[in-house]
């Protein structure tokens, strides 16, 4: 069945209507002067080419008929300036065409060159699947094996609510769906040159050059109206490989993310350092985006973000927002941070505090009366404080403790877990820098921070153990899953078993 068939059946209900497929737009039905979208998928030119070839494999442009359910549909396909546009309508007259074969009409609309011979193993396939059709289970084979196309795989990732697409030389594509990495059996493993050819179509020239020199590169990719992706290209022993991390087009709200209410208060801070930490893929960027969006809606401030690459796109609302990407809009994180101080900022978001220079400038900036939001790859709040201090030479560590004691406002450490009913949920550890916590940092007693967090629950503080316990007791996640993700496994086991929850399988 052609993937256009559901849309053609909708068109059949409107004999005077026209189905329009054009690049950069969703498929829409034009009927008596009114337009109505019939799919949520934004089409690219290659999408339209591939969909047309499903109904008429031998036609890339011109006019032809296609029959479905005993009804005829007239295709008018135009190729111009490298773009493909198609309009489909019900013909007034014409011979009946076999339901599975498309026949070109005698008079083509344009004088199109005959298509060049193609290797059928390399023929592009539809890179966009209408959302009305079911998606084939990614653990099963689906018809004839073929080489993957990037846009098609990304569209499937969006439809399946996946987080990551993995492409590797000599291996079948894989997608991470709700935390599980699943192999797509319907695609052939691409050779290194085949995969590079496909990846090069979506890779900016600057990043191609960087990849050739450094053997890895990062950039952002956007499918207009659908999603953005953070992309990393790299080499391994088999050849080129890539990971596409999906970034929702719409910024999720606090309610949609299930964020603790205390995080709302961070959006009203006027100065200081707020850190969101966790392993890769734990949702740090999403949490920061929700906080920044709240600032954007409620404060008449100037916000500067420094991200590599830019992930969530923020449009200025009540705040004025400028987003900069090192390597594209500025030379480095450090240079952008130093420049930001001359750009009248109120809030600065640092996508990743990855080196000593960035950490040092961020702390100094927070001390000078700005609100700085940043991320680190640490798993707990106390270890975050230690990680920052340990980045500095021994002769500077006491000074850094003093600066952190005065400037740090909060640390949110999070990790994602698989839910019992599907999907994922975050567990949080929240440290708020009260005077007591600040004193512990100043005196080098960070090992006592965990105890301070337990006594500060009424202020919104939370340990990871308590957060995991709540998720298990509410039957949101299993005890086994919580145990696997726990930093202090012994404390979690004691707390769960005290409540009669067995964790024998987990231990």
Count Cα neighbours of 145 within 13 Å in the Cβ-side half-sphere. Answer: 11
Q: How far is CA 122 from CA 187, 192, 297, in A?
A: 12, 14, 48
The Cα–Cα gap between 389 and 382 comes to: 11
Distance of CA 255 to the CA centre of its chain: 19
Pairing between β-strand 408-418 and β-strand 302-306 as defined by DSSP bridges: unpaired
Q: Give the H/E segment covering residue 467.
A: helix 464-473
Residue 429 and residue 393 in contact, taking contact as beta carbons nearer than 8 Å:
no
Phi, psi of 394, deg, nearest 5: -55, -35
The Cα–Cα gap between 443 and 389 comes to: 12
Count of Cβ atoms closer than 10 Å to residue 301 Cβ: 16
Hey, what domains does the chain have and what are their CATH numbers?
5-106 (3.30.450.90), 150-247 (3.30.450.90), 254-462 (3.40.50.300)
Query: How much is the mean pLDDT over the chain?
Result: 84
pLDDT at 2: 60
pLDDT at 427: 96
The Cα–Cα gap between 388 and 374 comes to: 12
pLDDT at 422: 84
pLDDT at 111: 28
Angle subtended by helix axes 150-159 and 45-55, to nearest 10:
90
Which of 498, 465, 428 minimizes the C-alpha distance to 275?
428
- Residues 6 or more apart in contact with residue 134 via CB below 8 angstroms: none
| Tokens 């916590």 -> residue | 437
The Cα–Cα gap between 141 and 263 comes to: 44
pLDDT at 144: 52
What is the pLDDT tens value at each position of the chain, 507 positions in all? Answer: 567 888 888 888 888 889 998 887 788 888 876 778 887 677 777 778 878 877 877 666 788 888 888 888 888 888 876 678 889 998 754 333 333 323 333 322 222 333 333 333 332 323 333 333 333 333 333 445 678 789 889 999 999 989 999 999 999 999 999 888 999 998 999 999 999 999 999 999 999 999 999 999 999 998 877 889 999 999 999 999 999 999 988 899 999 999 999 999 999 999 999 999 999 889 999 999 999 999 999 999 999 999 988 889 999 999 999 999 988 899 888 899 999 999 999 999 998 888 899 999 999 999 889 999 999 999 999 999 999 999 999 999 999 999 999 999 999 999 999 999 888 999 999 999 999 999 999 999 999 999 999 999 999 999 999 999 999 999 999 999 999 999 999 999 999 999 888 876 544
Residue 203 and residue 167 in contact, taking contact as beta carbons nearer than 8 Å:
no
Q: How far is CA 464 from CA 126, 205, 413, 428, 486, in A?
A: 45, 43, 8, 6, 7
Count of Cβ atoms closer than 10 Å to residue 270 Cβ: 11
Q: Give the H/E segment covering residue 67.
A: strand 62-68
pLDDT at 393: 94
Q: What is the pLDDT of residues 448-464, one digit of tens each?
A: 999 999 999 999 999 99
Sign (positive/negative) of CA torsion 209, 214, 215, 220?
negative
pLDDT at 94: 37
Sign (positive/negative) of CA torsion 58, 60, 64, 66?
positive
């Amino acid at each position: 069945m052609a993937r256009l068939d559901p849309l053609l059946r909708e068109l059949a209900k409107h004999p005077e209507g026209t189905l329009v497929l054009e690049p950069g737009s969703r498929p829409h039905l034009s009927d008596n002067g009114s337009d109505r979208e019939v799919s949520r998928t934004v089409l690219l030119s290659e999408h339209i080419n591939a969909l047309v070839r499903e109904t008429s494999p031998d036609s890339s442009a011109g006019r032809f008929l296609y029959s479905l359910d005993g009804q005829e549909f007239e295709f008018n396909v135009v190729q111009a300036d490298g773009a493909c546009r198609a309009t489909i309508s019900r013909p007034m007259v014409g011979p009946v065409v076999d339901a599975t074969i498309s026949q070109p009409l005698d008079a083509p609309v344009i004088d199109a060159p005959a298509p060049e011979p193609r290797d059928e193993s390399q023929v592009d396939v539809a890179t966009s699947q209408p959302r009305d059709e079911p998606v084939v289970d990614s653990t099963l084979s689906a018809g004839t094996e073929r080489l993957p196309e990037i846009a098609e795989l990304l569209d499937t990732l969006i439809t399946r609510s996946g987080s990551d697409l993995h492409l590797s030389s000599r291996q079948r594509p894989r997608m991470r769906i709700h935390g599980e990495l699943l192999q797509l059996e319907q695609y052939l493993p691409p050779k290194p040159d085949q995969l590079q050819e496909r990846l090069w179509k979506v890779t900016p020239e600057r990043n191609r050059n960087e990849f050739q020199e450094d053997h890895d590169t990062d950039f952002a990719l956007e499918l207009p109206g659908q999603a953005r992706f953070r992309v990393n290209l790299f080499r391994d022993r088999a050849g080129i490989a890539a990971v596409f991390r999906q970034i929702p087009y719409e910024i999720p709200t606090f309610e949609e993310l299930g964020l603790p209410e205390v995080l709302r208060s961070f959006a009203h801070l006027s100065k200081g350092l707020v850190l969101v930490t966790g392993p890769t893929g734990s949702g740090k960027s999403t949490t920061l985006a929700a906080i920044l969006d709240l600032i954007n809606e409620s404060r008449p401030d100037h916000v500067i973000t420094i991200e590599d690459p830019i992930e969530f796109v923020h449009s200025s609302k009540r705040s004025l927002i400028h987003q900069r990407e090192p390597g594209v809009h500025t030379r480095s994180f450090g240079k952008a941070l130093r420049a930001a101080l001359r750009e009248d900022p109120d809030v600065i978001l640092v996508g990743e505090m990855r080196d000593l220079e960035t950490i040092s400038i961020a702390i100094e900036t927070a001390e000078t009366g700005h609100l700085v939001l940043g991320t680190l790859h640490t798993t707990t709040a106390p270890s975050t404080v230690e990680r920052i201090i340990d980045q500095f030479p021994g002769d500077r560590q006491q000074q850094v403790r003093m600066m952190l004691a005065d400037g740090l406002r909060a640390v949110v450490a999070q990790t994602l877990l698989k839910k019992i009913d599907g999907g994922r949920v975050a567990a949080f550890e929240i440290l708020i820098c009260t005077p007591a916590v600040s004193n512990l940092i100043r005196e080098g007693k960070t090992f006592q921070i965990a105890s301070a967090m337990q006594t500060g629950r009424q202020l919104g503080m939370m340990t990871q153990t308590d957060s995991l316990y709540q998720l298990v007791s509410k039957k949101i996640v299993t005890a086994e899953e919580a145990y696997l993700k726990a930093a202090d496994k012994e404390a979690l086991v004691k707390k769960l078993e005290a409540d009669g929850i067995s964790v024998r399988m987990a231990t």
